Amino acid sequence: MIKPLLAGAACAVLLAACNQERAPEPVDKAQDMASAPVGQITAATVGANTQAGYIPAAAVGDMYEIQSSAIALERSRNERLKALATMIRTDHTAATNLLASEVHEAAPATVLPTTLDQRRQGLIDNLRSAAAENFDRAWLDQQIAAHQEALTLHRGFADQDSPLAAHARSLIPKIEAHLREAEAIKASMPAA
């Protein structure tokens, strides 16, 4: 008698769980997915602690930052955001140039990537197609996530036994400054 009663109770619990109300689907799935965090876990899993993993991840991260900032300079009307985009573009261009020269010394056989990966290209496409009234928030959301990912990457490599570890360490303060400013700008915006 107890076994059928327990089985019935278990079925009732499972049915109740299945019937729970689901959260509504996002209105704009493409916007929601592209604005989702760029991926701190991604940076940690691409080999941030190896030179072979760090080099392409750092190069693609810089490419994304440069391209996304150029779009912000074209599309945003927020002067503080544009100042941040200018700083990001300048700092990541310098980081790209420095990485290229250091990779030539540290890993001469390594070829730096010249195109974005599919995920970051999707983020760029999202910025290009974002509605004007949503652009600043979408860009800031992407920048916050991208800079969190960059910190994970560079901190993960900063203590490695590689000539490029100094490069990683030198970028951390700039990335932290970009992240703080992006968060401050977003916090100063009216609620969506």
Among 126, 138, 125, residue whose Cα is nearest residue 192: 138
Q: Is 66 inside a domain boundary?
A: yes
Q: Is 18 inside a domain boundary?
A: no
Query: In the predicted model, what is the mean pLDDT of the chain?
Result: 82
pLDDT score at 48: 65
Q: Which domain holds residue 183?
A: 29-188
CATH number reported for the structural domain that contains residue 125 in this entry: 1.20.1260.10
Tell me the per-residue pLDDT of 47-101, one tens digit each, with 9 for 90 and over: 568 899 999 999 999 999 999 999 999 999 999 999 999 999 999 999 999 999 9
Number of structural domains (the chain) is 1
Tell me the per-residue pLDDT of 65-74, one tens digit each, with 9 for 90 and over: 999 999 999 9
User: Residue 31 phi/psi, 5° resolution?
Assistant: -65, -45
Close Cβ partners of 17 (under 8 Å, ≥ 6 residues apart): none
Q: Is 147 inside a domain boundary?
A: yes
Q: Is 9 inside a domain boundary?
A: no
Contact at 8 Å (CB) between 84 and 140? no
Residue position matching structure tokens 């990457």: 153
- 154 CB burial (10 A radius; 0-12, 13-18, 19+): buried
- pLDDT above 70 for 35: no
Q: Mutual orientation of helices 79-106 and 132-157 as an angle, nearest 10°?
A: 30
- Euclidean distance between CA atoms 108 and 192, whole angstroms: 48
Tell me the per-residue pLDDT of 145-163, one tens digit each, with 9 for 90 and over: 999 999 999 999 999 999 9
